Structure 1
């Protein structure tokens, strides 16, 4: 505004001749345009700097070993018979204490967790990368592929610039928003030194979350290396990577001054790519990112040796990847398959994230998991959805810029030899074989949801997890190892902890509903559900506060291995292997931006359960391999929810 005022004062001093009036109008118009352009560079301007709380975030606590052992045994109890339990109990009592007092600048789990992901040799597709699909724009005309893609690219750049300028609203969990999520609190807390700011927020029941992962969102790629991959971030990249029909294109979306390129120009360049008649390459190199990591590392070295280093650098340093698909999505199942894996050719699975845009405007984020967790990606997705639906920069009647897109857009062409062609051929065969085994099905329970459960003072998440336990027992007659992810972002460099939803309470309750149907009164069954909810709430709180047992045991094992120590028998106990063979791997997701999310099972005989408990309904998006019947499982879960809600309404089970 100061620059605008200066220009206005300058023009007012010019003589009021015809020419000077034109000059004044021109200068004023130019100044206004510059001001509007500056405003459009950012999503918002936070009063509190983005990383204001980062320095004072508390460290992830290391639980007391005896408490970890107690929690471990409690989680094992429903999975083991009496003899197996006694053996495991004896091993836990014999477990020696090893304390980690190093790495005071970070969390004790951070380095081991990065190593775990980056040293895994399995392909990232299906094994690690999840997807989260966007809801459609409520204005149908804005779901045109070109319009929506352009708006998402622009909003993504605005998010990136807001983040890097330090004016993105900090991520805070508000327990009392009336006190902490207010302008007056923000104006006050911004003056509290960063070294103390977390404590100031804590005083009003607000919990700032770790944002250290956010810098990996943009210009970042996982690079395959023999034995262990590495993460590469190059913030100098100003270009977008676009994939269509297996072809790869790049063009700048940030100019030399660091500003967003004109949305009309971006629209023009994307229109040029969508109209390009170049056929799919016979050997699309994107499919290599779906390979075994050591195999891909070797082929990447071969790509460099055959003169493709510059192209790979452009791929790696791109701000992010936009995948333009020619398919129209038929239903939720089609969306899940396309956004989770696609055909393998029109993806670069190693990018920190890709926005996938189908022909009908259905869109999703597929992200590589080693660099970060769902918290950062979901924040990005929420902001992008809000910005594109409320402040779109291009419209159905917008004209593309009159620019030469053929010179601005570069299609990457790769040098090939027989070994690379053979590697791509085999990668496609392996990919097709892997995805052909994956089945996905979805279920919506419409007879109740969050509102009803909260009226009964029940945890919605606990009831959903109970339904999974009950459904599995109805289908297979047993209780199995179950994993639910919980963020530990309340701590510096926190990642995730495991909630173990399979408990003695859920086992007893599931047994009563499934195997002893009609033997207990409605009141007894309601009490069992209440017990499950209360215990699940305790497990959730412990996990969020870094007091689970999984990461502690994982870190102690990692520490012993790095020091060359012999592993304690607890780790070779079959019960330890069994509880980490997570047949039910679950993750919840509820957001106004997200339509559905999903991932593949983490073990061959497992289910990958993505779910959301909404105000008046509960949805599940579940995957399986041939060892399990996902359709039958969802029928069993639906029946379990029917039973639970009937009992909560006071009806007896027939």
Structure 2
């Protein structure tokens, strides 16, 4: 319909007297305004390129240098020490009189510009050296060295940066020494292996180091000299894009709405504000108006490269590998409702529609009574099943005609929106169970009512609750969490709603209707088989979400312990009680202190954490257990620092393995390391923009965070978010098919472990663990 609306701008008829040309000036004006918006964006990008190109200096500093040079020359002094005259005689035509004066001025301008560029390069080099300094991370709290103090002052003295101002000044990720990596690896697996097993692994590692390892390391160092980041491109390709299994559950992850609050119960209104907030965020990204993300609690910038593909991006399937496609801009979003797909234009004449207008358009979709076309209702299942059938289907049925045009509309959309016909959230007589169903709905839905290939999909439920599902290959969870924090805060506190729950603003009722996408789906397509694969996968996922309210980071920090270390050691204790042993544990850490950095693994199961758990469970004295706990916490923090500063284990070993495959050589050591299962996969969702949420005046606006599916068939996936001072929200996942795992049982173990460790560290405090009722009963009562 939008195409038909634009077509009337320009009509003509052929008559005996000639061609009768008719123009719609209103439509042409809208075309003109759209062009103006496009050119404004181009000019803005050019301006930002200049500003960030000379950062930490400013473009106006060029004028200061020119004036300073000319003023010095006016005072009969030559600041260039003869270079200006040399430029004039060597590169410009010498002359006499006024022309000679003009040439001298031109030579002075050339010299000033060269001097200015040299100063910029020097400043950028110094900034890169500053950002390469990571010793501050290893200093004890309250004992900051003089070097670090001077370094922080210098880092703070720069101008106000744009989103990408620091990009070219960030250091490259270093390649660790192979001996250091192997030593740390053997230390990490020592508590998981018996004596003979450890001896065998040590022998394999030594053999690898003395033979193949150094050869592979040389290739890796060569790549590190040539590439911006020696890990990220291989990580994106081989871990994500080359995977042929379903990305639903296995790769994609989800984010939830507020725990206690739903700003409006009107589905269309919530969609209007959510879509508007996301597009406002996109505008900030395009204009680079977002502040660079920093290490929490510091001024240290993090790489912002992952923001580039946040919008207008989709993952397209291939037979051997998928491809990430990104478009520069998109003026519409794709919407799914009850088996129908729509294209919703969110700009008109270069103007972003207001929330009330988007609500009006969404309501039109909700009120549309037309049924799905044959094969349309479950079409999204293709993105939820195995990748090879989807790739073959795409080539066979979506490479031309009406199917290609409709598929392009979905893939080129800014993002995907699902108007779900169910209600979700912590509601009704079973709030705990409803939270679990809410998580499963966001993780996989009905397996066909999401478009899992999009960079992210927004889900708006019938009762106004919302959430998102994000594809993993283009970015990691902190980047999406930053977007989602802004969206929730802007929706609730900036855009707001009227008293009757509708969006604010006026409606232009002449807006063209959302465009229904058309399909011609043959009956022999693989939609049914893809849906069967996805449904089996979804039905096997056991999700459990619970808010832990007994205490939060406030109590933990009073003990002078890192909250993350406290939680990770509690997870080790919980797993030991649940499974009777220890396992290889994955905790995601970031390497965004480096350019194009993504993640590194913190192997949270250490000798120290295992020693503490064994001592506690073995009934050793409280003082000895407290000592061992603090050693374990310090060890965990050190492992986290090493991972963040490029001295991790797993990405280095992964890249060595990739090089070995390119060279066509086999390494028994690398093969065994890369095949080890992560039975406990964990991740913290950080709150990065606390200034957006006033928990003091609005304590109910608490984020639930997000989660992901289990990594191993016989393991757990655990995500947690530390909210405020007194709450930690947990997301636990496992598979029903494994009789040894149970997400609810593990959730109870986590709660009990947290309380037991706090009781150990604060013996004078009466905690919930001393009560006769178990933590599950306590939580259930509080939820009700």
TM-score range, shorter chain: 0.7 to 0.9
| Aligned twin of 2:99 | none
| Aligned twin of 1:48 | 161
Matched, 1:241 2:334: yes
Matched, 1:619 2:740: no
| Aligned twin of 2:364 | 272
Q: CA deviation at 1:577?
A: 4.9
| Aligned twin of 2:559 | 456
| Aligned twin of 2:379 | 285
Q: 1:276 to 1:170 in 2, by over 3 A?
A: same
Match of 2:745 among 628, 632, 635: 632
Q: 1:209 to 1:339 in 2, by over 3 A?
A: same
Q: CA deviation at 1:408?
A: 3.1
| Aligned twin of 1:597 | 706
Deviations 1:311-340 (A, max 9, x none): 111111001111111111152112101111
Alignment of 1:119-130 (within 5 A): 119-130=242-253
| Aligned twin of 1:216 | 309
On the 8 A contact 2:478/2:686 being kept in 1, the answer is no
Q: How many angstroms apart in 2 are the aligned matches of 1:208 and 1:465?
A: 26
Number of residue pairs aligned between Structure 1 and Structure 2: 572
Q: How many angstroms apart in 2 are the aligned matches of 1:57 and 1:334?
A: 42
TM-score (ref. length: structure 1)? 0.83
On the 8 A contact 1:589/1:611 being kept in 2, the answer is yes
Q: CA deviation at 1:612?
A: 2.5
Which is further off, 46-55 or 467-476?
46-55
Q: CA deviation at 1:594?
A: 3.1
On the 8 A contact 2:435/2:545 being kept in 1, the answer is yes
Q: Name the SS for the 1:484 alignment partner.
A: strand
Deviations 1:592-645 (A, max 9, x none): 673131111011111111113342233321111121122222222222222111
| Aligned twin of 1:482 | 585
Q: How many angstroms apart in 1 are the aligned matches of 2:596 and 2:483?
A: 18
Q: How many angstroms apart in 1 are the aligned matches of 2:374 and 2:747?
A: 40
Q: Name the SS for the 1:594 alignment partner.
A: coil
Matched, 1:567 2:660: no
Q: How many angstroms apart in 2 are the aligned matches of 1:469 and 1:263?
A: 47
Q: 1:174 to 1:341 in 2, by over 3 A?
A: closer
| Aligned twin of 1:401 | 507
Alignment of 1:268-417 (within 5 A): 268-279=360-371, 283=375, 284-305=378-399, 307=401, 308-329=403-424, 330=427, 331-392=434-495, 395=498, 396=501, 398=504, 401-404=507-510, 407-417=512-522
Q: Name the SS for the 2:710 alignment partner.
A: coil
Q: How many angstroms apart in 1 are the aligned matches of 2:292 and 2:726?
A: 31
Q: Name the SS for the 2:753 alignment partner.
A: helix
On the 8 A contact 1:223/1:230 being kept in 2, the answer is yes
| Aligned twin of 1:609 | 718
Q: CA deviation at 1:241?
A: 0.6
TM-score (ref. length: structure 2)? 0.70
On the 8 A contact 2:384/2:448 being kept in 1, the answer is no
Q: How many angstroms apart in 1 are the aligned matches of 2:372 and 2:640?
A: 48
On the 8 A contact 1:119/1:229 being kept in 2, the answer is yes
| Aligned twin of 2:290 | 168
Q: How many angstroms apart in 2 are the aligned matches of 1:622 and 1:483?
A: 14
Q: 1:159 to 1:443 in 2, by over 3 A?
A: closer
On the 8 A contact 1:47/1:167 being kept in 2, the answer is no
Q: Name the SS for the 1:611 alignment partner.
A: strand
Deviations 1:357-414 (A, max 9, x none): 1112221121100111112211111211222122107643546624245x43111121
| Aligned twin of 2:538 | 435
Q: CA deviation at 1:280?
A: 5.1
Matched, 1:133 2:260: no
Q: CA deviation at 1:175?
A: 4.5
On the 8 A contact 1:443/1:638 being kept in 2, the answer is no
Structure 2's unaligned 5+ residue stretches are: 1-39, 49-158, 428-433, 688-692, 694-701, 771-784
| Aligned twin of 1:195 | none
Which is further off, 390-399 or 534-543?
390-399
| Aligned twin of 1:85 | 198
Q: How many angstroms apart in 1 are the aligned matches of 2:399 and 2:164?
A: 41
| Aligned twin of 1:641 | 754
Structure scoring higher RCO (CA < 8 A, sep ≥ 6) equals: 1
Q: Which of these two proteins has the greater Rg computed from alpha carbons?
A: 2
Q: How many angstroms apart in 2 are the aligned matches of 1:394 and 1:137?
A: 17
Q: Name the SS for the 1:334 alignment partner.
A: helix
Q: How many angstroms apart in 1 are the aligned matches of 2:305 and 2:493?
A: 28
Q: 1:276 to 1:639 in 2, by over 3 A?
A: same
Q: How many angstroms apart in 1 are the aligned matches of 2:524 and 2:510?
A: 37
Q: How many angstroms apart in 1 are the aligned matches of 2:373 and 2:196?
A: 59
| Aligned twin of 1:66 | 179
Q: How many angstroms apart in 2 are the aligned matches of 1:60 and 1:141?
A: 43
Matched, 1:418 2:513: no
Q: 1:577 to 1:562 in 2, by over 3 A?
A: closer
Q: CA deviation at 1:55?
A: 1.0
On the 8 A contact 1:484/1:586 being kept in 2, the answer is yes
Q: How many angstroms apart in 1 are the aligned matches of 2:297 and 2:267?
A: 39
Matched, 1:548 2:648: yes
| Aligned twin of 2:621 | 521
On the 8 A contact 2:452/2:471 being kept in 1, the answer is yes
Match of 1:260 among 333, 352, 377: 352
On the 8 A contact 2:259/2:703 being kept in 1, the answer is no
Q: How many angstroms apart in 1 are the aligned matches of 2:199 and 2:319?
A: 42
On the 8 A contact 1:240/1:322 being kept in 2, the answer is yes
Deviations 1:4-23 (A, max 9, x none): xxxxxxxxxxxxxxxxxxxx
Q: CA deviation at 1:306?
A: 6.4
Q: How many angstroms apart in 1 are the aligned matches of 2:497 and 2:478?
A: 28
On the 8 A contact 1:356/1:365 being kept in 2, the answer is yes
Q: How many angstroms apart in 1 are the aligned matches of 2:569 and 2:263?
A: 41
Q: 1:213 to 1:255 in 2, by over 3 A?
A: farther
